[in-house]
Structures are given as structure tokens and as C-alpha cells.
Amino acid sequence: MEEETKRWYEENPELMEVDRATTEDLEIERMRKLLSSGIAEPDFDKGTIERP
């Protein structure tokens, strides 16, 4: 499967960028939900997000 995915991305490099951007957007949204719910808090000194 990994070989097929690699070949697909090589044949469609513009779609790899779209996939990467979508993944980043989903991660940002997940972090926003965690922060707004109080499940996680940012640690600005470390540059990370920690569970309280």
C-alpha cells in the first residue's frame, strides 16, 4: 500500500500538497477543540500543548 501511495503522489504532486494542507488544517482544528474544551492547555515556554 505504501508503494502505491508513493507512486500516486509522484504522479500527482499537486494532490500531495492538498493532502498535506488538509491534514494540517484538521490538526489545527483538533487542537482548537482541545484548547477550548479545557482538555489541554498550551505551555508557551515549551511551545507544546499539555494536558492539565
Query: Residue 52 above 70 pLDDT?
Result: no
Residue 23 has pLDDT above 90, yes or no: yes
Sign of CA dihedral 37, 38, 42, 48: negative
Q: Are 5 and 11 in contact (CB under 8 A)?
A: no
Is the whole-model pTM more than 0.75?
no
**Which residue spans within the chain are E strands per DSSP?**
41-43, 48-50
Q: Which of 36, 38, 40 is nearest to 50 (CA)?
A: 40
Give the closest residue to 40 by CA, choosing from 27, 30, 49.
49
